[in-house]
Amino acid sequence: MQDPKVLDDRPVLKEETVEQDVLWNRVIELELVAHPNHPRPEIVKMDYPMVDGVLKVRVRAAHSGYMLRRWCVDCSPDHRLAARDFPLWLKEPLDLYGSEAELAPGYVDPRAGNGKKIRAM
């Protein structure tokens, strides 16, 4: 932001309240596993506190894409991204439906049809 101004004398409108921010208030649980194409999945499993090979992560829907990018998680439905770059894979990409997943590497919006990516990664 450039040159922000505090508006102390203006009331907060209803649509500006945190209660109205659906993506901020929605928490989703994602299941991450070692990338199916990783040459040493046992090493990946040792790097994370996985239970039975699954790391369950709860994240606000508004932050999901950013978190998955930072953690280098392949979110493609067919785990097509390079395992050397993405040691983790999102077990169920549909868990991201309706969240801010545009930043998630390899994510395909199910509304796009024909496997069309919404945003190139």
Torsion angles phi and psi, residue 113, rounded to 5: 70, 155
pLDDT category of residue 14 using cuts at 50, 70 and 90: confident
Buried residues in 86-98 as b, exposed as e (16+ CB within 10 A) = bbbbbbebebbee
Summarised one tens digit per residue, pLDDT across range 68-90 is 999 999 999 999 999 999 999 99
Summarised one tens digit per residue, pLDDT across range 18-37 is 887 788 888 999 999 999 99
Query: How far, in Å, CA of 43 to CA of 17, rounded?
Result: 44
Query: How far, in Å, CA of 62 to CA of 28, rounded?
Result: 10
- The predicted model gives 88-99 an average pLDDT of 91
What pLDDT is stored for residue 43 in this prediction? 95
- Cβ neighbours of 114 (radius 10 Å): 5
Tell me what percent of the residues of the chain surpass a pLDDT of 90: 59
Whether 56 and 88 have beta carbons less than 8 Å apart is answered as no
